[in-house]
């Protein structure tokens, strides 16, 4: 090892005080200062075998950019980063680093790993504040046209990689703003929308064309993208956007939302600014969010910011099984979220105007592990209880939107309705059509969607050079 180990713990991330931030949408974590960043970067021992890189699905040259920060060569670090990742400010904020790059960090064996994500964010923000741009010479146009369906992290990554190779890329997005979950799902206080817009603008700088308001399957079908619009390959990155509701009485009462609707109203439509903006939202006083993942955590913290007196998170297993990031659970608790573990709703009760007035729940105990390896929750008979609430948000998972499936019969799906695609290349059973991200894996992470995008871009590039019918 090249260097001696210094500071053993991560340089703390500066945050707004919980009491202050819990009622506003400003970003919770305010970001490293220059000195914080240099101090943290200095912890990296520059391992010869560079294990951290293997933990990053987009293969950022982590040791190099960290060493550059340690030497205060911030511009160099920016170029190293952007070379592999067009969305560094986003990844630095929302990547589950603890399961990715940082998990592989040598330092992590005995101490805290290097705070790779925080350093990534620092550089991305530092560069944006100084308006640095990557001035890559425009590649020679290849004349090949590729359509990308969906502008979430998977679609954005494919588009960037293909544009850098000189292909002519158009992204079709159903909503009026690109970004996918980054735009409509993840709240402002965790990922400011101006940052998403900024990183997408950088992508457009590479020559990527974005067409919002185009629902593929309706405005054009996949077949029409080939036959009428002359695209030679299509990448489908439409995400897992179909919300699930449990089969219990009362789910259609007023004041019952899917997390998608609740978050879309708040984030994409900016309902938290109503009536300055036109989209309304039910502002609950006593809110229950059902679920234990990032989506549930984002919803319950949104409820607090929209003025809830009580914001409950109701999860049917115990804390150990909660899929949300530990850091987010901590933040939520600091803000005053009340977590009700080992409980699940059995009915939602309404008043005479069909508005939610209460929720009936049942207590659970953990039984044997299920297919996912987590202990299965089982109901405890006779343990039902009622809680007075006026807003219920379900964040209990989602499935594949059927629009593309219904209009593209020769695209093969797996049993869960997701597109059947090769993991290494994104190739599907339909000639010239590739897929990646949540529409293939089911709800996963930003970085895994980006990784799938990167792999598909390589395969699409190869396909464009040699589009044999059985060339996949």
Ligand X SMILES: Cc1cc2nc3c(=O)[nH]c(=O)nc-3n(C[C@H](O)[C@H](O)[C@H](O)COP(=O)(O)OP(=O)(O)OC[C@H]3O[C@@H](n4cnc5c(N)ncnc54)[C@H](O)[C@@H]3O)c2cc1C
Q: Using the rule CB under 8 A, which residue among 137, 275, 373, 469 binds other proteins?
A: 275
Q: Do residues 221 and 406 lie in contact, with contact meaning Cβ atoms separated by under 8 Å? A: no
- List the interface residues with ligand SF4, window 209-228 (CB under 6 A): none
* Site membership for ligand X, residue 426 (CB under 6 A): no
Stretch that binds ligand X, among 59-67, 104-112, 354-362, 400-408 (CB under 6 A): 400-408
Q: Distance (Å, rounded) from C-alpha 381 to C-alpha 424?
A: 47
In the complex, least distance from residue 448 CB atom to ligand X, rounded to whole angstroms: 7
* Site membership for ligand X, residue 42 (CB under 6 A): no
What is the SS3 assignment for 159? helix
Phi/psi at 428 (5° precision): -105, -175
Tokens 């010239």 identify what position? 432
* Site membership for ligand X, residue 29 (CB under 6 A): no
Q: Using the rule CB under 8 A, which residue among 3, 23, 130, 176 binds other proteins?
A: 176
* Site membership for ligand X, residue 437 (CB under 6 A): yes
Residues near other proteins (CB under 8 A), total: 49
Q: Binding mask 19-48 vs ligand SF4 (x if CB under 6 A, - otherwise)?
A: -------------------------xxxx-
CA dist 446 → 54, 88, 133 (Å): 17, 11, 23
Q: Do residues 289 and 313 lie in contact, with contact meaning Cβ atoms separated by under 8 Å? A: yes
* Site membership for ligand SF4, residue 123 (CB under 6 A): no
Q: Distance (Å, rounded) from C-alpha 68 to C-alpha 74?
A: 6
Q: Tokens in use for 320?
A: 């150990």
Phi/psi at 457 (5° precision): -60, -40
Phi/psi at 174 (5° precision): -70, -40
Binding site partner of 100, from ligand SF4, ligand X, other proteins, none, Cβ cut-off 5-8 A by kind: ligand SF4
* Site membership for ligand SF4, residue 63 (CB under 6 A): yes
150 or 432: CB nearest ligand X: 150
* Site membership for ligand X, residue 258 (CB under 6 A): no
Binding site partner of 74, from ligand X, other proteins, ligand SF4, none, Cβ cut-off 5-8 A by kind: none
* Site membership for ligand SF4, residue 449 (CB under 6 A): no
Q: Distance (Å, rounded) from C-alpha 204 to C-alpha 89?
A: 16
* Site membership for ligand X, residue 401 (CB under 6 A): yes
Contacts of residue 277, defined as CB under 8 A and 6 or more positions apart, other chains included, come to 269, 270, 271
Taking alpha carbons only, the member of 249, 432, 304 closest to residue 18 is 304
Q: Do residues 72 and 27 lie in contact, with contact meaning Cβ atoms separated by under 8 Å? A: no
Q: Tokens in use for 402?
A: 């059927």
* Site membership for other proteins, residue 227 (CB under 8 A): yes
Instruction: Return the DSSP state at 147.
Output: E
52 or 464: CB nearest ligand SF4: 52
Sign (positive/negative) of CA torsion 53, 455, 216, 230?
positive
Q: Binding mask 271-310 vs ligand SF4 (x if CB under 6 A, - otherwise)?
A: ----------------------------------------
Q: Using the rule CB under 6 A, which residue among 66, 94, 234, 344 binds ligand X?
A: 94
Q: Binding mask 179-208 vs other proteins (x if CB under 8 A, - otherwise)?
A: -------------------------x----
In the complex, least distance from residue 185 CB atom to other proteins, rounded to whole angstroms: 10
Taking alpha carbons only, the member of 13, 34, 36, 90 closest to residue 58 is 90
Phi/psi at 289 (5° precision): -110, 130
Q: Distance (Å, rounded) from C-alpha 230 to C-alpha 185?
A: 33
Q: Do residues 204 and 116 lie in contact, with contact meaning Cβ atoms separated by under 8 Å? A: no
- List the interface residues with ligand SF4, window 91-120 (CB under 6 A): 91-92, 95, 97, 100-101, 105-107, 114, 116-117, 120
* Site membership for other proteins, residue 448 (CB under 8 A): no
Cα-Cα-Cα-Cα torsion 372, 376, 377, 380, nearest 10 degrees, comes to: 170
86 or 389: CB nearest ligand SF4: 86
Q: Using the rule CB under 6 A, which residue among 38, 52, 70, 127 binds ligand SF4?
A: 52
Interface residue list for ligand SF4 (CB under 6 A): 44-47, 50-52, 56, 58, 60, 62-63, 66, 85, 91-92, 95, 97, 100-101, 105-107, 114, 116-117, 120, 447
Residues engaged in binding ligand X (CB under 6 A): 94-96, 149-155, 172-175, 180-181, 185-186, 215-217, 237-239, 241, 263, 294-295, 298, 401, 403-404, 437-439, 443-447, 449
């Amino acid at each position: 090892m090249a260097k001696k180990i210094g500071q053993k713990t991560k340089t703390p991330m500066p945050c707004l005080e919980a009491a202050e931030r819990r009622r506003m949408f400003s970003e919770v974590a305010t970001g490293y200062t220059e000195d914080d960043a240099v101090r943290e970067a200095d912890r990296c021992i520059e391992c010869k075998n560079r294990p951290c890189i293997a933990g990053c699905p987009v293969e950022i040259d982590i040791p190099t950019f960290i060493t550059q920060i340690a030497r205060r060569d911030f511009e160099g670090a920016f170029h190293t980063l952007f070379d592999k990742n067009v969305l560094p400010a986003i990844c630095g904020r929302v990547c589950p680093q603890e399961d990715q790059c940082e998990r592989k960090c040598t330092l992590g064996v005995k101490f805290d790993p290097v705070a790779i994500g925080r350093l990534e964010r620092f550089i991305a923000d530092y560069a944006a504040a100084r308006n640095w741009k990557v001035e890559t010479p425009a590649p020679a146009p290849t004349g090949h046209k590729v359509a990308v369906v969906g502008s979430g992290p998977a679609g954005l990554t494919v588009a960037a990689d293909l544009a850098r190779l000189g292909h002519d890329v158009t992204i079709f997005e159903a909503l009026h703003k690109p970004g996918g979950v980054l735009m409509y799902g993840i709240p402002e206080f965790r990922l400011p929308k101006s940052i998403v817009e900024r990183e997408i603008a950088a992508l457009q700088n590479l020559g990527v064309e974005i067409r919002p308001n185009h629902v593929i399957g309706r405005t054009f079908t996949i077949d029409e993208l080939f036959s009428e619009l002359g695209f030679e390959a299509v990448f489908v990155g439409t995400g897992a956007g179909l919300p699930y509701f449990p089969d219990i009485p009362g789910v259609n009462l007023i004041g019952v939302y899917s997390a998608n609707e609740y978050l879309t109203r708040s984030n994409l439509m900016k309902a938290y600014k109503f009536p300055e903006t036109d989209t309304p939202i039910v502002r609950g006083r006593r809110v229950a969010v059902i679920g234990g993942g990032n989506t549930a955590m984002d919803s319950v913290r949104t409820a607090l910011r929209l003025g809830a007196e009580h914001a409950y998170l109701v999860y049917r297993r115990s804390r150990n099984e909660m899929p949300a990031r530990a850091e987010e659970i901590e933040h939520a608790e600091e803000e005053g979220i009340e977590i009700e573990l080992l409980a699940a709703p059995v009915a939602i009760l309404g008043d005479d105007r069909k508005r939610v007035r209460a929720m009936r729940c049942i207590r659970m105990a953990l039984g044997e592990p299920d297919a996912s390896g987590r202990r299965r929750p089982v109901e405890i008979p006779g343990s039902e209880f009622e809680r007075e609430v006026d807003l219920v948000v379900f964040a209990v998972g989602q499935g594949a939107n059927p629009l593309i499936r219904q209009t593209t019969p020769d695209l093969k799906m797996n049993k869960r309705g997701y597109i059947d695609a090769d993991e290494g290349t994104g190739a599907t059973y339909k000639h010239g059509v590739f897929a990646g991200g949540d529409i293939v894996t089911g709800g996963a992470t930003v970085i895994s969607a980006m990784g799938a995008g990167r792999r598909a871009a390589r395969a699409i590039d190869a396909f464009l050079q040699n589009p044999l019918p059985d060339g996949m």
